[in-house]
Structure 1
Amino acid sequence: MRLTCKSMAIAALAMAMSAASWGQTRHKSLNYLYSISGQKTVAGQHNREPNSDPAKWTAQIKNVTGRYPGLWSGDFLFSQHDIHYRAAMIEQAKTEWRNGALVNLMWHTCSPATAEPCGWDSSVQRKLSDDEWRQLLTEGTWLNGVLRSRLDAIAVHLQALKDSGVEVLFRPLHEMNQGAFWWGGRPGPDGTAKLYRYVHDYMTRTKGLSHLIWVWDLQDFATLESDLASYDPGEGYWDVLALDVYGSDGRGYTQQKYDAMVRASRGKPIAIGEFDRLPSPEELAAQPRWTFLMGWAELVFERNSAQSIQRLYDSPRIVDLSEMPGWGTVSAGNLARGRPVTVSSTESGYPGANAVDGSVESRWSSAYADHQHLYVDLGSNQRIRRVKVVWETAYARYFQVQTSVDGHTWKTVRDVGSNTALVNDLTGFDETARYVKIYGVNRATPWGFSIRELEVY
């Protein structure tokens, strides 16, 4: 019987597809990170000073590569000029989100023991005494009041993003194991992790900023393995685990660091939070679970040649802005979810609607023959940039993606041959169509074609 013959393969597939791998959170951009984990890495670029020019370094990437990065990053910062232009930085964040980018925000902030605005050496890197640290986290003290007032100031801007529907990868108190910053380098339950929890609870519970995706970030010191335990705020306090790779241990993108991050992530997305030297395409291929990487402002251009930047952006693993799914629709941008489908044939019990129901636990199956198809009606002409097919064990060795504006005349927009993957995440489209068809030309198994989920973005 079919199920008996396939039982071992199905069991193996189920193990590979953990619940986290198909994460369905309330944040569509976080769902996207789950969906690409192990397959793709979004290219990102940080834009630090000045906040009056909040896309300066993103534009430089475009100048070098001809492409915009898929992640834009800004910072609230601490100088008088940059505080004055925080609103401009927030407007840029709104624009980037509308353009389909991931939005990342950092919070380099003055020490609560000094006035704001402030200087880098005199405040951002001014250490607090143990007594000041205790006061900082004690309600009703002067230092605690300063902390809350500064959180209030940035919460206004974060609320503006929430009101505009912008989700934010929020990375406060970054490089928590970095002792140079006033907030960092304090291991243990009452150290930096406690401050992170305080900030998280204040912004989410007191301020109601439910659009924040919390990034827990460390630097790549030789102590990384133990730091991942010593600085962990707790699983409920972070959504993404990021590592800043500066070769702080004298080495770069080592397998040891990657493996430590994967273990500590507990199935959540991991990312390269900052870097000066680019990872190579080969390093990314060997470390496939990095969901995004973010170059640090000017350092990307000071420490990498234009050729190496171009080579990274040319990698098939890298997602630039043109390949992002966009955030303007329901179901995390998936235009196909819940839409009507038409199929060439159906195996009893596995109807076509199963392929667009939002669950990889159900599936459509065709008759046991080549040249079968399934197509979805998006309801109106849509701009199509990405098509993702999640196959059951009965997958296609050769298939085509076709589009149509009327459901009668079809255009083949992608041929996929010699396929061996159970997930085909196809990007780089720029089509306008109402109907999207997966046309199975040749089967890879004796059974038919079986699709767990068809997604269109």
Structure 2
Amino acid sequence: MNVEWARRMNVEPNLINPQADDCAKRLMAYLCDTYGKRMLTGQQIGVRATPEMDVIFRETGRYPAVGGFDFMNDSPSRVERGAVGTDTALALAWWRAGGIVTFCWHWNAPKDLVDQPPDNGWHRGFYTTATTFDLARAMDDPSSEEYALLLRDIDAIAGLLARLREAGVPVLWRPLHEASGGWFWWGAKGPEPCVRLWRLMYDRMTGLHGLHNLIWVWNGQHKDWYPGDAYVDIIGEDAYSPARNYEPHADRFRQALSYTETAKLIALSENGPLPDPDLMIASGALWLWNCTWYGDFLHKREDGETVVSERYTEAEMLRKVYRHPFTVTRDELPDLLRYPEGRTNREGKAPEAEDASGAV
């Protein structure tokens, strides 16, 4: 095994928050023990309908290890227009059923929504095209209304994360995602104000709100947007290959490794078609978890029933991924309430991965 590669895959379970809750420490210990040996299966749920988990179970007989949720409808500028957030309760139920929780936040801009349907209606207010909210101006003036509204929104979501903390739920927290793409308002003004917003969010959620159950997953997708090792627990990459292309995204895995010299866990935090586990192993793209996006990336309506769509991932590949010895499904997760903190290396490598660890 390549020495440098072995070092990068050997991540110590040290969270950036020195006051991290035991539940977060135990989850991080498990993730570090698993990294490079197996990949946790994951699935994002929908917004209006949430059939994803049941579709996967009917097709494979198993549930994903990681459930993906979104605070989209909890954004204050959506709530004031009638949106009702439901994902906090769904995430709590998922954790109690034995799954791991990850949250993103399609953050509707706090103000200045264009509100010109259909493409730029208020409900699409997280997109740059649907708002004139200027993050750089807000961050440059802490006395401004814009800055105060940023704090208001952060505090609103912190209240929901606090409910999860009170229930003992560790959260893989992935805010401000895909910032370098520029299609979301938090990335529209370049890296500097976005990095400042990330650090502000971390300091406020951790220091003011005491959210010590969070594991911080950064998903900026470009080195210039990296907020620093002291603000990132896990690096996530979002990668969408063409339909029925099951590539392992090895180039994106290497890209994620290049953001910092520090060994960090690397996850495929969003994907379209599933990556083929055999190709992952052969290429060394040993993602910690994947999270397939919702909707027709997984399912469709047919004859009045919700079934696997096969538009992006064929049913045969779905079954292969969920039954492969390299992947972890919900039924295979340990008791994370009792998992020992610190490094244990108790998982053991999957046989197929023995010769793959140094493949990149």
CA contact (8 A) 2:206 2:212 kept: yes
Q: Which residue of 335, 345, 359 corresponds with 1:326? A: 335
Higher helix share: 2
CA contact (8 A) 1:215 1:238 kept: yes
Partner of 2:204: 202
CA contact (8 A) 1:99 1:326 kept: no
CA contact (8 A) 1:246 1:275 kept: yes
CA distance in 2, matches of 1:137, 1:56: 43
Give yes or no for the alignment of 1:273 onto 2:275: no
SS in 2 for 1:121: coil
Query: How big is the shift at 1:197?
Result: 1.4
Give yes or no for the alignment of 1:256 onto 2:251: yes
Q: Which residue of 216, 233, 240 corresponds with 2:218? A: 216
Q: Which residue of 49, 52, 61 corresponds with 2:56? A: 61
Q: What pairs with 1:113-128 in structure 2 (closer than 5 Å)?
A: 113-114=111-112, 121-122=120-121, 123-126=125-128
Amino acid at match of 1:298: G
Q: Alpha carbon RMSD of aligned pairs, Å?
A: 3.6
Query: How big is the shift at 1:257?
Result: 2.1
CA distance in 1, matches of 2:214, 2:79: 26
Q: Which residue of 26, 33, 46 corresponds with 2:31? A: 33
SS in 1 for 2:185: coil
Query: How big is the shift at 1:137?
Result: 4.9
Q: Structure 1 residues 331 and 203, CA, compared in 2 at 3 Å: closer, same or farther?
A: same
Question: Which protein has the larger Cα radius of gyration, Structure 1 or Structure 2?
Answer: 1
Q: Structure 1 residues 168 and 131, CA, compared in 2 at 3 Å: closer, same or farther?
A: closer
Query: How big is the shift at 1:56?
Result: 2.5
Query: How big is the shift at 1:96?
Result: 1.6
Partner of 1:94: 92
CA contact (8 A) 2:270 2:291 kept: yes
Give yes or no for the alignment of 1:162 onto 2:165: yes
Q: What pairs with 1:405-420 in structure 2 (closer than 5 Å)?
A: none
| Residue segments in structure 2 that go unaligned for 5+ positions in a row | 299-310
CA contact (8 A) 1:245 1:252 kept: no
Q: What pairs with 1:227-242 in structure 2 (closer than 5 Å)?
A: 227=222, 229-242=223-236
Percent identity between the aligned chains? 25
Partner of 2:308: none
CA contact (8 A) 2:246 2:273 kept: no
Give yes or no for the alignment of 1:183 onto 2:177: no
Higher strand share: 1
Q: What pairs with 1:380-395 in structure 2 (closer than 5 Å)?
A: 388=347
Amino acid at match of 1:241: I
TM-score w.r.t. structure 1 length? 0.62
Amino acid at match of 1:21: V
CA distance in 2, matches of 1:168, 1:359: 20
Q: Structure 1 residues 287 and 20, CA, compared in 2 at 3 Å: closer, same or farther?
A: closer
Q: Which residue of 239, 242, 261 corresponds with 1:245? A: 239
SS in 2 for 1:215: strand
Partner of 1:287: 284
Amino acid at match of 1:280: D
TM-score w.r.t. structure 2 length? 0.78
| Residue segments in structure 1 that go unaligned for 5+ positions in a row | 1-8, 220-226, 333-357, 362-386, 391-415, 424-457
Number of equivalenced pairs: 322
SS in 2 for 1:329: coil
Amino acid at match of 2:268: I
